[in-house]
Amino acid sequence: MHNLLRFLILLMVLGVGLTTAVALGWITELSFSHIHLAIVTFIYTIFAQAFVMFYFIGTSRLATNVYNILRSETNLNELFDEPPADLKPYVKKVYKFVQDTDRGKRQTIPWTMLMLVLGTIAFLLGGAHDTGLVERTTHSGVVYGFIAAMFIGFFRQWYYLGLTNQTIRKLKTLFSISDAQM
């Protein structure tokens, strides 16, 4: 799953790069204007960022649910065929997994939200510039802010997608949970 999400955010960066290159006049061979590209690219950005955000929320929730089952010592049959007498080693390991998945969520979701907010404002200011309501520099400034947030967010997401995937694999291996099961 993390490879699919990495592919999605890589496509997002390429789409924004293409839109920017057309807007700056670096690429003139396309029959589309940067406005047409921006519409498709921003809709795709919303799509990709929603997937990434829900991945981090879901993995954090999975680790927290397993931790809560271990701490409450109820429904242990969901994790074990035969529950061990001493759960302390499991609780300790799973608490580390909870911390790791929460860290991934905390380190990526703010950048996701910043990308979406700045992208939306840039998109709306592009329409306002097209109708003559704002100056080009206003639209361009917000777009450059969006691009900066996107690059920072991209590298953070890339890094934490890998770490969170490893954490979830360790968690699933510890309790013999299949890869297809959340």
**Does some domain include residue 21?**
no
Q: What is the pLDDT of residues 127-147, one digit of tens each?
A: 999 898 999 999 999 999 999
Q: What is the pLDDT of residues 27-63, one digit of tens each?
A: 888 888 888 999 999 999 999 999 999 999 999 999 9
Backbone phi and psi for residue 147, each to the nearest 5 degrees, phi listed first? -65, -40
The answer to whether the beta carbons of residues 164 and 104 sit under 8 Å apart is yes
Overall domain count for the chain: 1
**Does some domain include residue 29?**
no
Burial 47-83 (b: 16+ CB within 10 A, else e): ebbeebbebbebbbebbeebbebbeeeeeeeebeeee
**Does some domain include residue 30?**
no
The answer to whether the beta carbons of residues 90 and 174 sit under 8 Å apart is yes
Q: What is the mean pLDDT of the chain?
A: 92
* N-terminal to C-terminal alpha carbon distance within the chain: 12
Q: What is the pLDDT of residues 89-121, one digit of tens each?
A: 889 999 999 999 999 999 999 999 999 999 999
60 vs 114: CA distance, rounded Å = 21
**Does some domain include residue 33?**
no
Q: Does the structure show a pLDDT above 80 at 182? A: no
pLDDT value at residue 152:
96
For the chain, give the number of residues: 182
**Does some domain include residue 63?**
yes
**Does some domain include residue 2?**
no
Per the structure, the complete domain to which residue 138 belongs is given by: 45-174
**Does some domain include residue 36?**
no
**Does some domain include residue 11?**
no
Q: Is the pTM of this model over 0.85?
A: yes
